[in-house]
Amino acid sequence: MKTDKDIKEMVRQKYSEIALQDKDSNQSSCCGASCCSTEVYNIMTDDYSNVKGYEKDADLGLGCGLPTAFAKIKQGDVVLDLGSGAGNDCFVARSETGPGGKVIGIDFTEAMIDRARQNADKLGYHNVEFRQGDIEQMPIADNSIDVVVSNCVLNLVPNKKQVFSEIYRVLKPGGHFSISDIVLFGQLPEKVLESAEMYAGCVSGAIQKQVYLDHIKELEFENIQIQKEKAILIPDDILVNYLDKNQLDQYHSGAYGIESITVFASKPKSKASCCAPGCCS
């Protein structure tokens, strides 16, 4: 059984490799490795090409949604992107918040932070900042963020409820988040869930959809809504490596499966707490 530390190190190593590749290289294989003919990332990711603020060099094809499109970012907002990668969603958010706002990206991987900073320097963006850190313990001040976004990242984190607790802590009263992520319904076979290869492809780190939403509800967020959801259909040429014929038949019948959801919620305007509910004296 892998520990939280083991999982984080596995993610760090895999995404350090991905940070050195371009989008085409990542999408020519599953999870950046030459293991199969059809990749996971490209099946999940949404098309950014016509989105205002999109920068091709910052897009590694690692997302599973378009959270910035649903995030209700206003001019002058302070926006936080969790798992910012090469900076793609940060640069899109910057186009919404304008020169009077600020965008902060946090990423666990040093190589990703280096690449994102290089992209920001090349573009001359002085109101976009990238910080290396663990989103379970964010290097962000309490009550300082207007909008949190994240794109297919929380599924890689062992303690998802702790991340939502941190989101609650850093949001200003009345602030909100819009997060795209991968969730499960039904019970996927253990072979899929325990595969490091599929984990880096944002599947086996995911949790049940209702559990995911319950984590948000338990922290007293308000206005919780699913802004978008879509089925993630993993091709058979990937699944045959993990499932037998009976399990494949169950998958195709809809007995279990994988979805991408974009979830919105806000922190109550009356809450200016130092942390999530129940942890302050």
Say what the pLDDT of residue 224 is.
98
pLDDT class of 272 with cuts at 50, 70, 90: low
Q: Is the pLDDT of residue 12 over 50?
A: yes
d(CA 110, CA 195): 24
Longest dimension (CA), the chain: 57
Question: Among 44, 21, 12, which Cα is nearest to 181's?
Answer: 44
Structure tokens at 89: 């969603």
Say what the pLDDT of residue 155 is.
86
What does the pLDDT look like over 51-65, one tens digit per residue? Answer: 888 888 877 777 788
Say what the pLDDT of residue 136 is.
95
Q: Is the pLDDT of residue 236 over 90?
A: no
d(CA 213, CA 227): 13
Question: Among 271, 257, 50, which Cα is nearest to 173's?
Answer: 271
Which domains, ranges and CATH numbers included, belong to the chain? 4-266 (3.40.50.150)
Q: Is the pLDDT of residue 252 over 80?
A: yes
CA-atom Rg of the chain in angstroms: 18
d(CA 239, CA 245): 10
What does the pLDDT look like over 35-93, one tens digit per residue? Answer: 443 444 445 667 787 888 888 887 777 778 899 999 999 999 999 999 999 999 999 99
Say what the pLDDT of residue 202 is.
62
d(CA 179, CA 94): 17
d(CA 55, CA 279): 40
Q: What is the mean pLDDT of residues 2-12?
A: 66
Q: How many CA atoms lie within 13 A of 182 on its CB side?
A: 28
Say what the pLDDT of residue 39 is.
46
Chain centroid to Cα 204, Å, comes to 14
pTM for this model (two decimals): 0.83
Question: Among 153, 155, 138, 273, which Cα is nearest to 219's?
Answer: 273
d(CA 151, CA 59): 12
272 or 155: whose pLDDT is higher? 155
d(CA 281, CA 279): 7
Bridge partners (DSSP) of residue 106 are 82, 131
Say what the pLDDT of residue 32 is.
35
32 or 141: whose pLDDT is higher? 141
In 20-149, which ranges are continuous DSSP H helix?
23-27, 41-44, 67-70, 88-97, 110-123
3-state secondary structure of 71: coil
Average pLDDT, the chain: 82
